[in-house]
Amino acid sequence: MGRFNLHKTKGFEKLVGSKTTICFMGQMKRPQKKKPFCPTYIVPVVAVAKTKNHKKIDRGTIKKSVKRFYGRKGLGNKLEIMTDHVQKVLKNKYGLKKGPSTGIQAILYCAQKYKKLAIAGFDFLHGDHMHYFEKKRKKSTTHDMKGEAKIILQLEAEGKLFRLY
């Protein structure tokens, strides 16, 4: 059972269950608990483009920072850095324009690694980008939700995944 970013299960067990075997964490997300609650953390690391407020940061620098953080938390042995192959496929094969969400990176990673993949809870297939545990409604996102929905539908048509709902 893979979960994303700073997911919550407590109080939502009837909706999402309680089992967690893999946590896919965005490179800017950090586990908050002192006790590790995931057997494995998988982090997709991408370079940060230069903006008017920030300088460009290469993938290697971010990778070192992520490894250092997880090491300090005693989670270094539970960390896997996702290869950049996933981001390249999302851009080159699927033409994703904006930065990919942790969710779509995890879906593609698992679709390539496992024979069977079932997904649930990806509401952006219906144009929404809320997380089930969020109380405040988001007005926008930095991700291409329509593009990500197309990728999921294409993977489903290719028989690489199926939706549980």
Strands 79-82 and 118-119: unpaired
CA 144 to chain centre: 14
What is the per-residue pLDDT for 77?
Answer: 92
Q: Indicate if the pLDDT at residue 124 is higher than 70.
A: no
What is the per-residue pLDDT for 64?
Answer: 92
23: three-class secondary structure by DSSP: strand
Window from 14-18, 52-56, 68-72, 125-129 with minimum mean pLDDT:
125-129
Sorted by sequence, the CB contacts under 8 Å of residue 119 that are 6+ apart come out as 107, 152, 161, 162, 163, 164
What is the average pLDDT across 116-142?
Answer: 62
Q: Indicate if the pLDDT at residue 20 is higher than 90.
A: no
Mean of the per-residue pLDDT values of the chain: 79
CA 145 – CA 99 distance, rounded (Å): 10
CA 132 – CA 125 distance, rounded (Å): 14
Q: The whole model's pTM is what?
A: 0.77
What is the per-residue pLDDT for 141?
Answer: 62
Element (H, E) at 112: helix 102-113
